[in-house]
Amino acid sequence: MSSVETTLRIGGDLPVHRLGLGAMRLHSTTPAVRAASISTARRAVEIGVTFIDTADAYELGLNEEMLAEALHPYPDGLVIATKGGHARPGGAWVPLGRPEYLRQQAELSLRRLRVERIDLYQLHRVDPKVPFAEQIGALRQLRDEGKIRHIGLSQVSVDQLVEARRITPVVSVQNRYNLTDRASEAVLEYCQAHGIAFIPWLPIKPSVASDGPLAEVAARLDATPAQVALAWLLRRSPVMLPIPGTSSTRHLEENFAAAGLELSTKDYSGLDALVPA
Ligand SMILES: NC(=O)c1ccc[n+]([C@@H]2O[C@H](COP(=O)([O-])OP(=O)(O)OC[C@H]3O[C@@H](n4cnc5c(N)ncnc54)[C@H](OP(=O)(O)O)[C@@H]3O)[C@@H](O)[C@H]2O)c1
C-alpha cells in the first residue's frame, strides 16, 4: 500500500477515496452500451470508488440517469458530484451561466439523480456574458435552500476562485491538469493552501503512450503508464482527487489500483521535471 493518504474530506465533511471515476465516458448510446456503463459504474463502487463525477451536459442528462439506475439507492459514503452551466446546443459546448438556467439545471439534476440534495454541485464553466457574481450567487442560493450541499467550480483562475470565495465557500476546483499540462499549477497551489479539493480532468489520457520516460518508469515498477500518471498526481498534492474516465472495467480496476503504487522520490521528481515549472 502506498504511504500517500488515500482519503480526502471534501468540504471537511465528505470523506472520499482520492481515486474517483469520471463518468463522462460511460455512454448510453444503445441498450448494450448503457448496460455496460451500468455494470462499470457498479463495479467502481464494488472496488471502493466513493467519488463519481458527472454533469447535466453528458448526453443531456442521460449520464446522470444512468448513474441513478446503476447505483440508486446510493450506498452510504458514495458522493456523486455533478455540474451545470455548460450547454450543448447542436453538440457544441457553450457556457451558459444565467442564474435562472443554473437553477433549472440543478433542479433537473436533483430529479435525474433521484436525490433531495446534491453533495457537490460544480459550475461547469464561467459564462463570460453573465456577471460572475450572479453565477456564484445562483449557486449560493441553491445551497442556502438546501438543494446542494457544497459548491465547486471548474476551469477557473486563482482570481476567479478568490472572488467566488468572497461570495460563498467553495470546496472544489475541477481544472484540466496532468503530468504534461500544468497550466493550472497556481490554482492547485491555492487549493492546497486553502484545503480545497483539486479535481484534475484529463488526468491520464496524454500519458498512456507505450513509450517515453513514463512508460520506462512504469515498466520498471511493473505498472502501467496510466497508473504511474495517477500515482504522480496523488503524490503531487494531498488535495488532488483524480477522476480518470473510462468505459472499460479493466481500465477502471487498473486505474483504481494506482492508489497503491508507491513512487520513489527519485521517480516522482524525474517525472516532475519532464515539464519545466
Ligand atoms: N470539468 C470539465 O470541463 C471536464 C472536461 C472533460 C472531462 N471532465 C471529467 O473528467 C473526467 C476525466 O477526463 P477524461 O475522461 O476526458 O480524460 P482521462 O481520464 O485522462 O482519459 C480518458 C481516456 O483514457 C483512456 N483510459 C482510461 N484508463 C486507461 C488506462 N488505464 N489505460 C489506457 N487508457 C485508459 C480512456 O479509454 P477507455 O474508455 O478505453 O478506457 C479514455 O479514452 C471525465 O470523465 C469527466 O468526468 C471534466
List, for residues 255-267, the tens digit of each pLDDT value.
999 999 999 999 9
> What span, in angstroms and rounded, lies between the C-alpha atoms of 45 and 26?
14
Secondary structure class of 125 (helix, strand, coil): coil
Q: How far is the CA of 204 from the centre of ligand 1 (A)?
A: 7
> Per residue in 191-222, pLDDT tens?
999 999 999 999 999 888 888 889 999 999 99
| pLDDT for the residue 2 | 64
Q: Mean of the per-residue pLDDT values for the chain?
A: 96
The answer to whether 121 touches 109, Cβ cutoff 8 Å, is yes
Q: How far is CA 194 from CA 64, 124, 162, 197, in A?
A: 30, 21, 11, 9
Cα–Cα nearest to 82, from 166, 154, 7: 154
Dihedral, CA of residue 178, residue 18, residue 45 and residue 264, to nearest 10 = 80
Q: Which residues contact 65 (CB under 8 A, 6 or more apart)?
A: 28, 112
- Give the separation between CA 243 and CA 115, rounded to whole angstroms: 22
Q: In 129-264, which residue ranges form alpha helices assigned H by DSSP?
A: 132-144, 158-167, 185-194, 213-220, 225-236, 249-257
**Residue numbers of the chain with a pLDDT score lower than 70:** 1-2, 277
Q: How far apart are CA 179 and CA 196, in angstroms?
A: 20
Q: Among 53, 82, 202, 240, which is best to mutate for testing ligand 1, by the most ligand atoms less than 8 A from CB?
A: 202
Which residues contact residue 208 at a Cβ distance below 8 angstroms, ignoring those fewer than 6 apart?
Answer: 224, 225, 226, 229
The per-residue pLDDT for 204 is: 95
Distance CA 262, CA 111 (A): 41
User: What cell numbers appear for 175 in the block?
Assistant: 481544472
Specify whether the CB–CB gap between 156 and 187 falls below 8 A: yes
Q: How far is the CA of 246 from the centre of ligand 1 (A)?
A: 5
What's the CA-to-centroid distance between 41 and ligand 1, angstroms? 14
Catalytic status, residue 58: yes
Domain spans in the chain, listed from the N-terminal domain onward:
7-205+239-245
Question: Going edge to edge, which strands form the sheet with 118-123?
Answer: 21-22, 51-53, 79-84, 118-123, 148-154, 172-174, 197-198
Q: Measure the CA–CA gap between 7 and 200, rounded to whole angstroms.
A: 16
pLDDT at 9: 98
Q: What is the predicted pLDDT for the residue at 66?
A: 98
Angle at 111 between CA 173 and CA 13, to 5 degrees: 40
Neighbours of 275 (CB within 10 A): 12
Give the residue whose CA is nearest to atom 4 of ligand 1.
Answer: 201
Among 79, 201, 254, name the best residue to mutate to test ligand 1's pocket (greatest count of ligand atoms within 8 A of Cβ): 201
Calpha distance 236→4 (Å, rounded):
10
CATH classification (class only), 7-205+239-245: alpha beta
For ligand 1, atom 34, name the residue with the nearest CA. 208
pLDDT reported for residue 1: 44
Q: Which three cell numbers stand for residue 2?
A: 502506498
> Ligand 1 pocket: which residues have CB below 6 Å?
22-25, 53, 124, 154-155, 174, 201-205, 208, 224, 226, 243-248, 251, 254-255
